[in-house]
Amino acid sequence: MKVLLYDIETSPHIGYTWNKYETDVLEFIKEKQVISFAWKWLGEKRVQCLSLPMFPTYKKDRDNNRDLIVELHKLISEADITVGHNVCAFDDKVSNAEFILHGLTPPPPHKTIDTLRVARKLFKFSSNKLGDLGQRLGLGKKVSTGGFSLWLGCLHGDPKSWALMEKYNKGDVDLLEKVYHKLKPWMTNHPDMNIADRHVGCPACRGINIIRRGWMYSTHGKSPRFQCRDCGKWSKGLSVNRELRFQ
């Protein structure tokens, strides 16, 4: 199965207000849009990124992100599983809004894993933000942006700002992958990674360094219980055609 880790960056809304804080927008001049996205295929080493200045249309129209969105649509359409932090509430919905605005059809159905939802459901950290989780778990931290001035620089076409935006975007995906691997053994709804090729191994990391430890009980009876020595994932075993399968 193809697992896509991805993250999008957007421009801010631009509008008129009477006050500076906690105020209603009187009128939008321009609504936010996707300005860059970074991604990595699980199992590959390279984190990649596309941003508006990388397309020929940017020189003529800085607000035209159609080519960028078409590439994002192609990418998501290749994935069997997508992984992101707050991806269900933000990245997926913002991307879908861009797809329909540009006349694109829905990407093929795929499984989505949101590491923010996992953190909220299974743990009680003081903060579930990606950067805070990365530091709390000893995995690293986000790339520093220097604040809102980075987004302003990109809006004004500053090359240095765009270079930092791409570095920041890639850094989020790099940290996302580390957090994903750390949380994956705890996930109860993660797809079995062995289904596609009937591999015999851990359903989370596909490792074969598995030890049998006791039984799992249910209303239907009991099944042998196993734990992966590589990632720590617990699973139950079933005898299928005299081979051991894990769930």
What is the domain range of residue 220? Answer: 210-246
In terms of pTM, does the model score above 0.95? no
Number of domains in the chain: 2
- CA–CA dist 96, 4 (Å, integer): 16
> Do 128 and 220 belong to one domain?
no
> Do 240 and 172 belong to one domain?
no
Residue holding tokens 């995995």?
139
Residue holding tokens 């590491």?
115
Cβ 231 vs Cβ 204: under 8 Å? yes
**Within-domain flag for 201:** no
> Do 104 and 173 belong to one domain?
yes
Residue 180 sits in a domain whose CATH number is: 3.30.420.10
> Do 180 and 95 belong to one domain?
yes
> Do 130 and 229 belong to one domain?
no
Q: What is the pLDDT along the chain (247 residues), one digit of tens a residue?
A: 899 999 999 999 999 999 988 889 999 999 999 999 999 999 999 999 999 999 999 999 999 999 999 999 999 999 999 999 999 999 999 999 999 999 999 999 999 999 999 999 999 999 999 999 999 999 999 999 999 999 999 999 999 999 999 999 999 999 999 999 999 999 988 888 888 777 778 888 888 888 888 888 888 888 888 899 989 898 887 533 344 555 5
**Within-domain flag for 240:** yes
**Within-domain flag for 205:** no
Per residue, what are the HEC states of the chain? Answer: CCEEEEEEEECCCEEECCCCCCCCCCEEEECCCEEEEEEEECCCCCCEEEEHHHCCHHHHCCCCCHHHHHHHHHHHHHCCEEEECCHHHHHHHHHHHHHHHCCCCCCCCCEEEEHHHHHHHHCCCCCCCHHHHHHHCCCCCCCCCCCCHHHHHHHCCCHHHHHHHHHHHHHHHHHHHHHHHHHHHHCCCCCCCCCCCCCCCCCCCCCCCEEEEEEEEECCEEEEEEEECCCCCEEEEEEECCEEEEC
> Do 114 and 181 belong to one domain?
yes
